[in-house]
Amino acid sequence: MAKLNISDLDVKGKKVLVRVDFNVPIKNGVIGDDNRIVAALPTINYILDNGGSAILLSHLGRIKSDEDKKELSLKPVAARLGELLKKDVEFVPENEGSAVETAVKNLKPGEVVVLENTRFQDIDNDFGKRESKNDPKLGEYWAGLGDIFVNDAFGTAHRSHASNVGIATAMKAAGKPVASGFLIEKEIKFLGDAVSNPVHPFVTILGGAKVSDKIGVINNLIPKSDHILIGGGMAYTFLAAKGHKIGKSLFEEDKLELAKQLLAEAGDKLVLPVDSVAATEFSNDASHEVVGEDIPDNEMGLDIGPKSVELFKSILKDAKTVVWNGPMGCFEMPNYAEGTLEVGRTLADLTDATTIIGGGDSTAAAKQLGIAPKISHISTGGGASLEYLEGKELPGVACISDK
């Protein structure tokens, strides 16, 4: 069943409570990267342009002590939002109490208010982590502020917190609508629909450090994919399972049996690297060379090699849907970045396919390459996108009303 979206609702004259993801990096009051604020603009602008007003809630970092509150106020975020929207944005340094209620009461169509970091509710009270442990009373309180609730925070959709699931539950109980924003709608469209119902050939590319991090994704995507290309550190446990020597490469002994089982199950679908860039140390300056499927005893595989790149490219060229999670090597070090960059470039060139990138490090690699505009969808959620690719139902998505 499709989820209700903000565009399905008449927001004129309505106070729309929006859970956004403003969890941006901040140091000494200065925002390092405002991508997440920019990503929330379409939903906010839609509400304002259509005669509604917006009450914005977000978490920022983790609050464990009063000291954390100084560095983790949303005040600079509200200021940056004002610059981006080119209008005054009111900031209330609290998220509960009379100051909040007055600001909401005085809110006029076309106006925006940002409330303080929801996780300020995680300390100094009898409940404990009221936000992160979803105190139903807190969700109810916030729900009382708006006529409509919009969840647009995909980055926390894998968590059941007061500011997403709590509000949604209370809104529904009060007979008020709960809708997705444009950002979550896009995530559902790509990570959900495109992956569960892919246009074939469907190729999954998996990499990153560990098999153990990606087991859920492998299990979910093996039956759906036509090919699964494996690179990164996790490839070496699979190569070991095939009887190859892997030298000092990353190896998860407790996943060896699982790797053998997956290879037996998936057969030709699982494609492993046929060569590697292997180094004597885990360092960019270490002496390194291209080796075949076997890695010398004193070396470790830190990137897929040129033949593997060609093999992966030959499979990708016919793909109609591609999901990529996890770099092909230690791309943070320039000498071991080529495999990851080549895979990124290949995806950018697939103009006739739906291309989806999920995962924090893979996204960083895509940005480094400047290919983001050529990718159909780059997920904004690290943990949330992984859980989605595992086929799990995310509480922050499940709580949105059906159409």
| Contact between 57 and 70 (Cβ < 8 Å) | no
Contacts of 291 (CB under 8 A, 6+ apart): 275, 276, 278, 299, 301, 305
Q: Does residue 360 bind Mg ion (CB under 5 A)?
A: yes
Give the range of 57-65, 199-207, 352-360, 371-379 binding Mg ion by CB under 5 A: 352-360
Residue from 61, 192, 360, 382 carrying the catalytic annotation: 360
Residue from 36, 248, 255, 269 carrying the catalytic annotation: 36
Rounded CA separation 277/291 (Å):
6
Q: In the range 348-387, which residues lie near ligand ADP by CB under 6 A?
A: 359-362
Contacts of 288 (CB under 8 A, 6+ apart): 277, 278, 279, 280, 299, 302, 335, 336
Q: Does residue 136 bind Mg ion (CB under 5 A)?
A: no
Prior bond of 201 cis (ω within 30°): yes
Nearer of residues 141 and 236 to ligand ADP, judged by Cβ: 236
Rounded CA separation 204/201 (Å):
10
Nearer of residues 367 and 374 to ligand ADP, judged by Cβ: 367
Binding mask 247-286 for ligand ADP (x = CB under 6 A): ---x------------------------------------
Q: Report the side by side order of strands in the sheet with 15-19.
A: 89-92, 112-115, 53-57, 15-19, 148-151, 178-180
Q: In the range 301-330, which residues lie near ligand ADP by CB under 6 A?
A: 301-302, 325-327, 329-330
Contacts of 137 (CB under 8 A, 6+ apart): 127, 130
**Which residue number places its CB atom closest to ligand ADP?**
208
- Residue 383 falls in the annotated catalytic set: yes
| Contact between 276 and 307 (Cβ < 8 Å) | no
- Residue 382 falls in the annotated catalytic set: no
Nearer of residues 176 and 214 to ligand ADP, judged by Cβ: 214
- Residue 62 falls in the annotated catalytic set: no
Residues taking part in catalysis: 36, 210, 360, 383
- Judged by the rule CB under 6 A, the positions of this chain that interact with ligand ADP are 207-209, 213, 232-233, 250, 301-302, 325-327, 329-330, 332, 359-362
- Judged by the rule CB under 5 A, the positions of this chain that interact with Mg ion are 360-361
